[in-house]
Amino acid sequence: MPQIFQNFINGKWTDSKSGRTFENRNPANWNDVVGIFPKSTKEDVEDAVSAARAAFEKWRLVPAPARGDIMRKVGDLLVKNKEELAREMTREMGKVLAETRGDVQEGIDTAYYAATEGRRLFGHTVPSEMPDKFAMAVRVPVGVAGIITPWNFPMEIPTWGIFPAVLAGNTVVFKPASDTPKTATTLVDIMMQAGIPEGVVNLVHGGGGEVGNAIVNNPDVDLILFTGSTGVGKQITRDASSTLKRVSLELGGKNAQIVMDDADLDLALEGVLWGAFGTTGQRCTATSRLILHEKIYDTFLDMLVDRTKKLKLGNGLLPGSDVGPCVNEGQRNVVASYVEIGKNEKANLVCGGKIASDGELSKGWFYEPTIFENVKPEMRIAQEEIFGPVLSVIRTSSLSQSIDILNGTIYGLSSSIYTRDVNSAFKAIRDIKAGITYINVPTIGAEAHLPFGGVKQTGNGHREGGWAVYDFFTEWKSVYIDYSGKLQRAQIDNYE
């Protein structure tokens, strides 16, 4: 019998009031049911928001260093449970073990960063324009934060939201993707073990249209941190406008790696293999376009196709698997439909392009790593996010043309250039329109202590990660303390 899981509201594990449930299955073996989870409703969200609101009044008064101490314990418990969590995550969403271990590690890094931030949360002191008067600006928590996350980084992305939210003194209602509810449940359990008080973190499972929507529309939720698709991000922006809550959006990407004619081709090859087919291409930062200089185009393409054909598809829990399955049937159908679009657009399919169903692979949602060459920048396969193992190769003749092509989509998350020329590297850093630019590194590989996010329709200007996310989770309060003992009128008495 599959295990049955619950929501976590006000410090208690509880069923949904709806009494309904959904199944979570292993994408590498659809017969394997990971667990049964509550299909929650607006009522469950209301209970979670009430609990978070009540808890906020106490939690905001806990000194930030003490909140940081709890975060340190969360980090320690993640370290202790790293391997088990990684295995659970691979079973739940399919990416290979090395990657799920990395996903947990990023949660660990985020916890320890938050722990130390408890002793910073810097404000500003500035001189006053009046004598005998002190001026400063301090950070205060905002209130109840709704954290809505996707399935491709089931540990890292929730921790990027929840840890800084809680460290800064906010309380949380967390809705994970319905493809990865188990990892979310374990994460919340670990936070409870570490001593997070009841009501501070609440977990509500279920669908985006029902649970996510109820969080966004709840007038008692002050903040929404959403990571997911651009379409849903736009919907959330519209919904949140009725209460003018603060919204941070991290959305889709159509990231490119440029390889110049002076690049170290072996290094660039390792980069694009990892960037395009790591996590089965299901990363917001995945390399989905490869922009190749014409002088090395044929040589590099041959090297790439040769290595891509050798990638081993398989269950991510088995040693030797390089590429896991797509997360579910719907996602694999999207990939297959984009391959048809690419063929109809007359791009040249040079490898992959098929569902992989030999032997054990037939049990899961596997798709062969796929490369199209002779892709034109305006084709749909070069413009739209596919979120699967499909790479579009585009030919160019100069640095400036490469950068123009790289910039020529609605997205602006990650970018990469391989070159040995320092001048080209610095021009790329200056001219590429993206939140992240890597030099001689693939488009994936963000570190937890730097700002993470994108420009254009990848987001709305906020950043996750590092110090920057604390700007989202705090309000500035300006404070003036006059110790002159008399009324001093700023801008008036000092200029009379």
- Which residue ranges make up the site for ligand NAD (CB under 6 A)? 148-153, 157, 175, 177-178, 207-209, 212-213, 216, 227-229, 232, 235-236, 250-253, 284, 385, 387, 413, 454, 458
Q: Are 490 and 283 in contact (CB under 8 A)?
A: no
Q: Closer to ligand NAD at the Cβ: 229 or 333?
A: 229
Query: Please, which residues have CB within 8 angstroms of residue 234's CB and are 6 or more apart in sequence?
Result: none
Tell me whether residue 107 or residue 228 sits nearer to ligand NAD (CB atom).
228
Q: How is residue 285 written in tokens?
A: 């930062």
**What length is written for the chain?**
496
387/452 Cα distance (integer angstroms): 19
Q: Which is nearer to ligand NAD, 335 or 413 (CB)?
A: 413
Extended beta strands in 334-473, E state: 348-351, 370-373, 390-396, 414-418, 436-439
Rounded to 5 degrees, φ, ψ at 349 are -75, 115
Query: Does residue 66 come out as left (phi exceeding 0), alpha (psi in the -120 to 50 range) or beta?
Result: alpha
Residue 32 Cβ, how far from ligand NAD at the closest point, in Å?
21
Taking residue 149's Cβ as centre, other Cβ atoms within 10 Å add up to 27
Give the residue with the Cβ less far from ligand NAD, 14 or 227: 227
Least Cα distance to 63 among 123, 10, 121, 11 occurs for: 121
Confirm whether 92 is a catalytic residue.
no
- Among 92, 99, 117, 284, the active-site one is 284
Rounded least distance, CB 414 to ligand NAD, Å: 9
**At its nearest, how many Å lie between ligand NAD and the CB of residue 397?**
30
> Nearest 5 degrees, angle CA 88-CA 312-CA 327?
40
Q: How far is CA 314 from CA 277, 307, 324, 366, 390, in A?
A: 13, 16, 5, 8, 17
Q: Is 340 a catalytic residue?
A: no
Q: Per the residue annotation, which of 250, 373, 385, 464 is the catalytic one?
A: 250
Instruction: Work out the angle between the directed axes of helices 265-277 and 297-310 (0-180°, nearest 10).
Output: 50
CB of 180 to ligand NAD, least distance (A): 9
Q: Buried (b) or exposed (e) across 215-245, using 16+ Cβ within 10 A? A: bbbbeebbbbbbbbbbebbebbeebbeeeeb
CA atoms of 17 and 19, how far apart (whole Å): 5
User: How far, in whole angstroms, is CA 325 from its chain's centroid?
Assistant: 19
- Toward ligand NAD, which CB reaches closer, 157 or 165? 157
Which CB, 42 or 307, lies closer to ligand NAD?
42
**∠35-41-44 over CA atoms, to 5°?**
90
Closest distance of CB 462 from ligand NAD, Å: 11
Nearest approach, Cβ of residue 216 and ligand NAD (Å): 5
3-class secondary structure per residue, 378-414? CCHHHHCCCCCCEEEEEEECCHHHHHHHHHCCCCCCE
The H or E element spanning position 154 is none
Q: How far is the CB of 370 from ligand NAD (least distance, A)?
A: 18
Query: For ligand NAD, which is the closer residue by CB, 121 or 177?
Result: 177
Given the complex with ligand NAD, which of 204 and 403 has the nearer CB atom?
204
Rounded least distance, CB 214 to ligand NAD, Å: 8
For the record, the structure tokens of 398 come out as 């100069």
- Hey, which residues are catalytic here? 250, 284
